């Protein structure tokens, strides 16, 4: 009898203290940036699962990719080019701090019209633009009006984008891990593990990669393993959180 009680006690103790990651339903979103310049980018649409694709506007294969990926059940974002600290060449559809609020809104609207099925936006480069509140406000007021979400790629630690999005009640989140600044297998494995660890520790993580052949081959192998690790692959929209705070009077006046 005593042995039975001990056995039950051990079982209950193990059950109660076991890691909760599997039951916590940790979620990961994977965004593939820089889609549209190369015909080979179309291969990215073949990745398994709920992958999100950030498409550059006015690029040769932007529209055809968005159409193909949408019909394969993927999610499309606009990858909006924004001014960088180092003055990197941005390409068509670029948003800069020299533009007026009206000009930013007009150019962003043109870009949104260029890519079909867009449900959200993230920044391409933008290490300078995302630091400038007046410029980011113009972007986020447009997204607020169109009910699109914003993911801050976090190319600057001084970005005001996410905070301002929350103030304007635009659903938002930020990138946690860049997956492929290097495409060596050991680096991809290291960054992937960092993404997994972040998701299991906090319940969610957003990783950003690119349509490099090495990245696509790696993800094709690793994505199907997520479920066994207690992680659900979700679209970026599912990790974009709406703010519950009321709009401040200052921001209401700015919007008017």
Q: Classify burial at 87, counting beta carbons within 10 Å of its beta carbon; exposed 0-12, middle 13-18, buried 19 or more.
A: exposed
Domain of 226, CATH number, reads 3.20.20.370
Q: What is the pLDDT of residues 173-220, one digit of tens each?
A: 999 999 999 999 999 999 999 999 999 999 999 999 999 999 999 999
Domain interval for residue 197: 20-255
pLDDT over 90 at 7, yes or no: no
The pLDDT assigned to 15 comes to: 37
- Residue 10 in any domain: the answer is no
Between CA 124 and CA 106 the distance in angstroms is 18
Q: Which residue in 236, 95, 242, 84 sits closest to 175, CA to CA? A: 236
Residues 6 or more apart in contact with residue 201 via CB below 8 angstroms: none
The pLDDT assigned to 88 comes to: 86
* Residue 37 · residue 58 · CB < 8 Å: no
Q: What is the pLDDT of residues 151-166, one digit of tens each?
A: 999 999 999 999 999 9
- Residue 5 in any domain: the answer is no
Q: Which residue in 163, 132, 131, 133 sits closest to 150, CA to CA? A: 163
Domain total of the chain:
1
* Residue 148 · residue 119 · CB < 8 Å: yes
Q: Which residue in 72, 62, 73, 67 sits closest to 124, CA to CA? A: 62
Q: What is the pTM of this model?
A: 0.86
3-state DSSP call for residue 12? helix
The pLDDT assigned to 25 comes to: 87
- Residue 14 in any domain: the answer is no
What average pLDDT score do residues 69-97 get?
95
- Residue 54 in any domain: the answer is yes
- Residue 2 in any domain: the answer is no
27-225-214 Cα angle (round to 5):
100
Dihedral pair phi/psi, residue 26, rounded to 5°? -60, 145
- Residue 45 in any domain: the answer is yes
* Residue corresponding to tokens 């520790």: 201
The pLDDT assigned to 252 comes to: 39
- Residue 168 in any domain: the answer is yes
- Residue 15 in any domain: the answer is no
pLDDT over 70 at 9, yes or no: no
% residues pLDDT > 90 (the chain): 82
pLDDT over 70 at 97, yes or no: yes
Where is pLDDT greater, at 254 or 176?
176
- With cut-offs at 50, 70 and 90, classify the pLDDT of residue 87: confident
Lowest mean pLDDT among 10-14, 85-89, 187-191: 10-14
The pLDDT assigned to 119 comes to: 98
What average pLDDT score do residues 49-77 get?
98
What average pLDDT score do residues 66-85 get?
97
The pLDDT assigned to 89 comes to: 85
Q: Which residue in 79, 14, 109 sits closest to 209, CA to CA? A: 79
């Amino acid at each position: 009898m005593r042995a039975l009680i001990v056995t039950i006690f051990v079982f209950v103790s193990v059950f109660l203290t076991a890691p909760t990651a599997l039951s916590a339903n940790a979620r990961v979103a994977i965004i593939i940036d820089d889609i549209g310049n190369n015909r080979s980018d179309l291969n990215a649409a073949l990745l398994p699962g709920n992958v999100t694709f950030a498409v550059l506007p006015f690029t040769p294969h932007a529209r055809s990719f968005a159409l193909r990926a949408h019909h394969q059940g993927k999610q499309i974002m606009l990858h909006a080019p924004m001014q960088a600290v180092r003055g990197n060449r941005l390409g068509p559809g670029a948003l800069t701090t020299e533009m007026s609020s009206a000009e930013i809104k007009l150019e962003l609207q043109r870009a949104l019209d260029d890519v079909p099925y867009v449900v959200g936006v993230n920044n391409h480069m933008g290490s300078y633009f995302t630091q400038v509140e007046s410029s980011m406000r113009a972007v986020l007021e447009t997204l607020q009006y169109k009910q699109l979400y914003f993911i801050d790629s976090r190319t600057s630690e001084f970005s005001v984008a996410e905070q301002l999005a929350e103030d304007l009640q635009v659903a938002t989140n930020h990138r946690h891990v860049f997956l492929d600044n290097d495409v060596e297998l050991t680096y991809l494995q290291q960054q992937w593990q960092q993404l997994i660890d972040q998701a299991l520790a906090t319940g969610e993580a957003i990783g950003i990669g690119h349509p490099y052949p090495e990245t696509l081959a790696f993800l094709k192998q690793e994505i199907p393993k997520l479920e066994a690790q207690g992680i659900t692959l979700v679209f970026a929209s599912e990790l974009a959180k709406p703010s519950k705070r009321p709009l401040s009077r200052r921001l209401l006046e700015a919007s008017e």
